[in-house]
Structure 1
Amino acid sequence: MRDGGIKVRLDRAVASQAWMDQFPRFKVHHLKKTTSDHILIFIYWEGRVASKRKRTFRYEEAWNNLDGCKPVVEEGWAHEADGVPLFQVTDKIKSTRRKLSQWARQNSRHGPKEIGEIENKLTSILGQPFTDTSINEKKVLLSKLNGLLEQEECFWRQRSKEN
């Protein structure tokens, strides 16, 4: 009944106890009444948004050719671990993974950007008259470019489905 009659809230959210146990951070809020005779129900997650999953560590084959990788592996593997031999090996692997992850963040793949910069420098050098200095600079740049292109090829080969 609308005029002065019975007022009963019929707008409800329903969940079993099992659902509430599994999703304890969901809340129900009744929004302010509008011109409708219904109340909107707002169901929301209370708390932080779940963070992205950690990426699985994968050793990059291209790291083999980078300066500084071998000492990082050696440092990680030199980690002293207590316990049974299997635990010691597992702990050494974890230590090496952490060290490599830190090292990779600082020395990670700058390939495409560096390749473009070197190609631009080479184009500039080729447009100038040849001198001993420009010829030596060209050799250095070509050597660096070939190294970066090999790293890029290795990077993509490792990710290809054909491998």
Structure 2
Amino acid sequence: MDEFKRALGDCALTTMHAQGPYFTWRGIRHEVEVKVRLDRFVTSNSWRDLFPKSRVIYLSPNESDHPPILLEVRNVRKRRRKRRKRFRFEEFWLREENWRRVVELGWDSATGDISYAKIANKITNKRDALLSWSHARFGSLKRDIEDIRKQLGQFFARAPSAPLCQSWLTLESKLHELLQKE
């Protein structure tokens, strides 16, 4: 590790500060959970001068033993715009028996005198029916996945000597199941 630090110094590179859990790798060695910070971004002063508003974010864990890392490269602070949420037909809906009936009911409930308005209403009603059905049947997959990722992220934040927990394995299994549906 000393040689690595020396190489960074020789190249005038420094580690960028990161948001998120401190530990970036976890594993089991001799039946003991080990956690260390392995993953990092390094930059030069000239790069930081070009992109002063850049940041590194350790994201919520996935199925890997390393959390994903996001580098946002920016020279000015980004403004947030509100976007309308797009409708997306979810492939996992096709595995359910009554998805077709939901589409038919939404399509058949449209009204309107002009043909293009009636088609637009049919599409809107079908979308709304599918979203309501999906929310009632599955809840919010994305929110559930994010909740489990946050819970898994807590394992990265705990002390390296904390004992291995069965709930960690249960959460990883549940995350895998939800990701398959997604």
* Structure with the largest fraction of helix: 1
Q: TM-score, normalised by structure 2?
A: 0.33
Greater RCO, CA 8 A, separation 6+: 2
Structure possessing the higher radius of gyration over alpha carbons: 1
Q: TM-score, normalised by structure 1?
A: 0.36
